[in-house]
Amino acid sequence: MLEFLNKRRTIRKYSEKTISNELLSKLLHAAAQASNTGNMQAYSVVVSTDIEIKKQLAPTHFNQAMVTTAPLVLTFCADFNRITKWCEQRNAIPGFNNFQSFMAAAIDAVIFAQTFAVAAESAGLGICYLGTTTYNAGEIIEILNLPKLVVPITTLTIGYPVEMPILTDRLPLESVVHFETYADYTKDSIDELYAEKEQHEIYKKFAAESNKEFLAQVFTDVRYTQKNNEFFSVKFLNVLKQQGFMN
């Protein structure tokens, strides 16, 4: 398992081979065994195979090609709708229309999604996370007909790989692991931890193509600008209010 995890890759190009309903069911069943808050399973997943639905979803993910070319698109959601209805039908007064409940459900949805991802990859499938789900959550809610107390959190595209890309680099382990207490970074440690990434030919080219002196400026000035972060923050908070999680 460790060797398998250390060699995993994100797959963005898929063959036309279909994923059987039997395999999908097995993968979802395995993913549902994942840990979750209070064993409430406050999550749900919408499986999209219909090309017309995928075409509707594509713009919400900034028209990334995988959305329409992947055999499966899975939208994982924080979901307190089901539990709330169960409580109301059993003379129990639910108190899940708040931010704390949303956070618990969002975390559980991601755990469910990642467990599914590992299961899918172990079965020879390739996956790609779409980090765009919360950017246009309101539009996804309309397309997938999500009721109150259901919010899309993350999306996976899934299929059989047609290529095996190179391994994506990662920061040294000491950059993300702290023992006992958090050891803040010094100027020298930041330079050391990011040295290899900044000297990588791919990233040097990345910065040059973006006309930036430093790779960090690509993240602040091009990919994840403050203006965009603030815009999508307001947009997502409005979705949480709309879906009943900010009462």
Enumerate domains of the chain plus CATH numbers. Answer: 2-166 (3.40.109.10)
| Sheet of strand 43-48, all strands in order from the earlier edge strand to the far edge | 43-48, 72-79, 150-159, 126-130
The tokens 């994840």 sit on which residue? 224
pTM: 0.96
Can you give the pLDDT at residue 215? 96
Can you give the pLDDT at residue 201? 92
Angle at 188 between CA 221 and CA 171, to 5 degrees: 60
Query: In tens digits, what is the pLDDT along the chain, a chain of 247 residues?
Result: 999 999 999 999 999 999 999 999 999 999 999 999 999 999 999 999 999 999 999 999 999 999 999 999 999 999 999 999 999 999 999 999 999 999 999 999 999 999 999 999 999 999 999 999 999 999 999 999 999 999 999 999 999 999 889 888 999 999 999 999 999 999 999 999 999 999 999 999 999 999 999 999 999 999 999 999 999 999 999 999 999 999 8
- Given the DSSP bridges, would you call strands 43-48 and 72-79 parallel, antiparallel or unpaired? antiparallel
Within 80-195, strands assigned E span: 126-130, 150-159
- Spatial distance between the Cα atoms of 138 and 151, rounded to a whole number of angstroms: 8
CA distances from 170 to 18, 164, 197, 198 (A): 32, 18, 8, 12
**160, 17 Cβ separation under 8 angstroms:** yes
Can you give the pLDDT at residue 247? 81
Can you give the pLDDT at residue 164? 87
Can you give the pLDDT at residue 126? 97
